[in-house]
């Protein structure tokens, strides 16, 4: 099987339908998209001398050719290595070298802004060059290469917040099951719908390319190549049946922009969110401003977008007696996986008991690229150990408490930062917050809250302390509050708590 078969089928079913658009303009229909993919696949084998199984990297911002390159690579039996274009040159070169990529596709935008220096000894092709244009022009043709279901399709490098990034091996079968899971568990798609790739295609948004191609829908690349709230609100008015995958931090910015602009949302169908904690107060505000369009997913690079889902039906069922608790959860297990909780004793936990989240299923990756030790440490007895801490309620809804590495132990008691953050973010003066542990000779660790205030809002430690004491146990409240202009985030919008802990190790608060 080859995941590129879904494009071949779409081309045959609806050749004239819009396939790839830039801003408000259709660039390729499914006929021209497929032909461009086929010509590039032939050039990859003939001109770039790539063989079945070779790795092809894409290190550029969202661009229409991103989609062409990855389908062409799959068509030719190659594996794709997606690299976030905002990474540092050293990080990009590490991934190129570690993956053994033979070719790296970039855009001139990356060359100008990222000062990309190729030290990995790979051939670099600029999609904005005449060379690339020659490669996609009509010429040689090849048949689609058939590959085994467990052949590597997508070598995704983790964010590397705890060390060097690891290459997660996603197979053609993994990707097919993941796409089908979207249609079963997340949302339905029609050929009249569109997905706006406002978040990086190198990450979750790119994974949702697949079910939209399966349904012959349109894929829209913002003209700016990245997330801009005002541009996204404009595109929602230009296209119908709009879906987006956004990180919670992006949704906050979109909500703020819509509150001030009051744009028409007639084209908005679905916003899928994930990739970081969405606090209850934030999703309530988003529902008020953007309407009943939200679906939450929980996944990891090792089980991309496919562990649990909190459906529109649940999110919009405000009359349910456990509505608030369900809104704070990440939903129920998706159909393609089994999810369980294991306690510290290595045994399945009872309902309501806190432990590590484990997952297995046909969508879960097969391991890490060239890292047997890390693979053995993460996959045990068929289960993927996620490193996330949570519990199931009586109805099967999973609530995540924190990453195991973020747990704070103070005076022998376990303190979960997410619980404190949920409280603090409900304060009207707080925009963002992140809690971490700081070494304490007396308690082992003390809780430190890094706080970003709303614009022109005033609050001090006393205000926040009183707010916490009215809502959580005294021992859980932060010992210190550190007010900052912004929180450090990676290129996908996740807060980098490792950076905050490192800051405290250099300059502790007292």
Check residue 143 and give its pLDDT: 94
Between CA 334 and CA 354 the distance in angstroms is 20
> Given a cut of 80, is residue 492 above it in pLDDT?
no
Query: Is residue 201 domain-resident?
Result: yes
Mapping DSSP onto H, E and C, the string for 166-183 reads CEEEEEHHHHHHHHHHHH
Mean pLDDT of 295-307: 95
Query: Is residue 307 domain-resident?
Result: yes
Tell whether 362 and 426 lie within a shared domain: no
Query: Is residue 401 domain-resident?
Result: no
Mean pLDDT of 431-454: 91
**Residue 99 maps to which CATH number?**
3.40.50.12780
Check residue 301 and give its pLDDT: 92
Check residue 345 and give its pLDDT: 86
- Choose one of 392, 417, 447: the last residue of a domain: 392
CB 220 within 8 A of CB 197: yes
Between CA 228 and CA 222 the distance in angstroms is 8
Task: Tokens for 249, please give them.
Answer: 């931090």
Tell whether 307 and 341 lie within a shared domain: yes
Tell whether 386 and 423 lie within a shared domain: no
Query: Is residue 399 domain-resident?
Result: no
Query: Is residue 165 domain-resident?
Result: yes
**Residue 454 maps to which CATH number?**
3.30.300.30
- In the DSSP assignment, the letter for residue 431 is E
Query: How many CB atoms are closer than 10 A to CB 138?
Result: 10
Q: Which residue segment(s) compose the domain that 411 sits in?
A: 407-506
CB 401 within 8 A of CB 354: yes
Name the residue with higher pLDDT: 119 or 344: 344
Check residue 160 and give its pLDDT: 53
Tell me the per-residue pLDDT of 38-69, one tens digit each, with 9 for 90 and over: 999 999 999 999 999 999 999 999 999 999 99
The domain total for the chain is 2
Tell me the per-residue pLDDT of 184-221, one tens digit each, with 9 for 90 and over: 999 999 999 999 999 999 999 999 999 999 999 999 99
Tell me the per-residue pLDDT of 277-299, one tens digit each, with 9 for 90 and over: 788 999 999 999 999 999 999 99
- Choose one of 337, 369, 392: the last residue of a domain: 392
Tell me the per-residue pLDDT of 218-254, one tens digit each, with 9 for 90 and over: 999 999 888 999 999 999 999 999 999 998 889 999 9
Tell me the per-residue pLDDT of 114-132, one tens digit each, with 9 for 90 and over: 445 666 579 999 999 999 9
Name the residue with higher pLDDT: 503 or 233: 233
pTM: 0.85
Tell whether 465 and 357 lie within a shared domain: no
Tell whether 430 and 331 lie within a shared domain: no
């Amino acid at each position: 099987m080859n995941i590129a078969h879904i494009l071949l089928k779409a081309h045959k079913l609806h050749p004239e339908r819009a396939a790839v658009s830039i801003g408000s303009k259709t660039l390729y229909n499914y006929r021209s998209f497929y032909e461009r993919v086929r010509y590039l696949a032939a050039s990859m084998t003939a001109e770039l001398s790539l063989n079945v199984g070779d790795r092809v990297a894409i290190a550029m911002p969202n661009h229409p050719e991103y989609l062409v390159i990855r389908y062409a690579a799959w068509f030719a039996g190659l594996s794709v290595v997606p690299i976030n274009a905002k990474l540092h040159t050293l990080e990009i070169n590490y991934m190129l070298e570690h993956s053994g990529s033979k070719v790296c596709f970039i855009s001139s935008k990356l060359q100008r802004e990222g000062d990309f220096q190729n030290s990995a000894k790979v051939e670099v092709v600029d999609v904005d060059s005449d060379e690339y244009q020659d490669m996609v022009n009509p010429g040689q043709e090849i048949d689609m290469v058939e590959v085994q279901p467990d052949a590597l399709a997508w070598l995704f490098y983790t964010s590397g917040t705890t060390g060097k990034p690891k290459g997660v091996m996603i197979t053609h079968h993994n990707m097919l099951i993941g796409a089908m899971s979207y249609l079963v568990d997340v949302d339905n798609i029609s050929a009249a719908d569109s997905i706006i790739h406002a978040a990086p295609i190198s990450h979750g948004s790119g994974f949702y390319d697949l079910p939209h191609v399966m349904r012959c829908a349109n894929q829209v690349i913002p003209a700016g190549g990245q997330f801009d709230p005002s541009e996204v609100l404009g595109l929602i008015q230009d296209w119908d049946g709009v879906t987006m995958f956004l990180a919670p931090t992006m949704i906050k910015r979109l909500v703020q922009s819509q509150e001030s602009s009051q744009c028409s949302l007639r084209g908005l169908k679905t916003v899928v969110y994930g990739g970081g904690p969405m606090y209850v107060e934030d999703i309530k505000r988003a529902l008020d401003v953007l309407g009943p369009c939200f679906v939450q997913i929980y996944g990891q690079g090792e089980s991309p977008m496919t562990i649990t889902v909190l459906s529109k039906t649940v999110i919009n069922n405000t009359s349910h007696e456990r509505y608030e608790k369900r809104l704070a959860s990440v939903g129920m297990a998706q159909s393609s996986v089994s999810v369980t909780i294991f306690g510290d004793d290595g045994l399945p936990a009872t309902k309501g008991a806190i432990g590590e989240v484990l997952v297995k299923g046909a969508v879960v990756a097969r391991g890490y690229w060239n890292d047997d030790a890390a693979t053995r440490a993460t996959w045990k007895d068929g289960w993927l150990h996620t490193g996330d801490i949570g519990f199931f309620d009586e109805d099967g809804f999973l609530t995540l408490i924190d990453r195991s590495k973020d747990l704070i132990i103070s005076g022998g008691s376990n303190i979960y930062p997410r619980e404190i953050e949920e409280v603090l973010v409900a304060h009207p003066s707080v925009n963002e917050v992140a809690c971490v542990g700081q070494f304490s000779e007396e308690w082992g660790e003390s809780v430190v809250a890094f706080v970003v205030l709303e614009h022109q809002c005033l609050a001090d430690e006393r205000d926040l302390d009183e707010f916490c004491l009215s809502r959580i146990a005294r021992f859980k409240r932060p010992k210190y509050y550190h007010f900052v202009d912004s929180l450090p985030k990676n290129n996908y919008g996740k807060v980098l708590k490792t950076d905050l802990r490192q800051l405290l190790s250099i300059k502790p608060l007292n």
